[in-house]
Amino acid sequence: MPTIRATLDDATKRLKFITESPRLDAELLLEHVLKLDRAQLLAREDEEISNKEFELLLLRRLASEPIAYILEEWEFFSMPLSVRPPTLVPRPETEHLVEAALQRVSIAQSRILDIGTGTGCVALAMAQEVPDCIVVATDIQGHNLALAQENAERHNLDGRIEFRLGSLFEPVSGETFDIICSNPPYIPEGDAPRLSLDIMEYEDPIALFSGTDGLDIVRELVNQGQDFLTPGGYLLMEIGQGQYSAVANLLEENGYDDIGFQADLAGIERIAIGRKPA
* Segment 257-276, tens digit of pLDDT: 999 999 999 999 999 999 99
**Amino acid at residue number 31:** E
The residue from 18, 42, 63 where one domain ends is: 63
Going 135 to 136 to 138 to 142, the CA torsion angle's sign is positive
Same domain, 92 and 166: yes
- Answer yes or no: do 115 and 195 share one domain: yes
Residues 88 and 204 in one domain: yes
111-152 residue pLDDT tens? 999 999 999 999 999 999 998 999 999 999 999 999 999 999
- Looking at the fold, whether 42 and 82 belong to one and the same domain comes out as no
Q: Provide the percentage of residues in the chain whose pLDDT is more than 90.
A: 94
Residues making up the chain, counted from first to last:
278
Q: What string of DSSP letters covers 19-54?
A: -S-HHHHHHHHHHHHHT--HHHHHHTTTSB---HHH
- Give the full edge-to-edge strand order of the sheet including 229-238: 161-165, 134-139, 111-115, 177-182, 229-238, 269-275, 257-263
**Is the same domain home to 57 and 156?**
no
- CB count, 10 Å around CB of 130? 20
Reported as a pLDDT band with limits 50, 70 and 90, residue 1 is confident
Say if residue 139 is in the same domain as residue 230.
yes
The CATH number linked to 130 is 3.40.50.150
- CA dist 167 and 249 (Å) reads 24
Q: What local confidence, expressed as pLDDT, does residue 50 receive?
A: 85
Same domain, 198 and 271: yes
Task: With respect to residue 34, please indicate whether it lies within any of the assigned structural domains.
Answer: yes
Q: Is residue 107 part of a domain?
A: yes
Regarding whether 169 and 256 lie in a shared domain, the answer is yes
Do residues 41 and 178 both lie within one domain?
no
Per-residue exposure over 55-83, b if at least 16 CB sit within 10 Å of its own CB, e if not: eebbeebbeebbbbbbeeebebbebebbb
Print burial letters for 94-123: b (CB count within 10 Å at least 16), e (below 16).
bbbbbebbeebbeeeebbbbbbbbbbbbbb
Are 17 and 78 contained in the same domain? no
Note whether 277 and 255 are within 8 A (CB).
yes
Q: Is 111 part of a structural domain of the chain?
A: yes
φ/ψ of residue 251, rounded to 5:
-65, -40
77 and 48, same domain (yes or no): no
> Does residue 175 surpass a pLDDT of 80?
yes
Final residue belonging to a domain, choices 27, 45, 63? 63
Instruction: State how many domains the chain has.
Output: 2
Query: Which pLDDT does position 128 carry in this prediction?
Result: 95
Cα dihedral 24, 28, 30, 34 in deg (nearest 10): 140
Is residue 261 situated within a structural domain?
A: yes
> Domain range holding 30?
4-63
> What is the Cα–Cα distance from 116 to 181, expressed in whole angstroms?
9
Q: Is residue 94 part of a domain?
A: yes
Tell me the per-residue pLDDT of 87-113, one tens digit each, with 9 for 90 and over: 999 999 999 999 999 999 987 689 999
Same domain, 51 and 100: no
Nearest to 186 by CA among 93, 122, 252: 93
Three-class SS state of 199:
helix
Report yes or no on 68 lying in a domain. no
C-beta of residue 47 within 8 angstroms of C-beta of residue 5: no
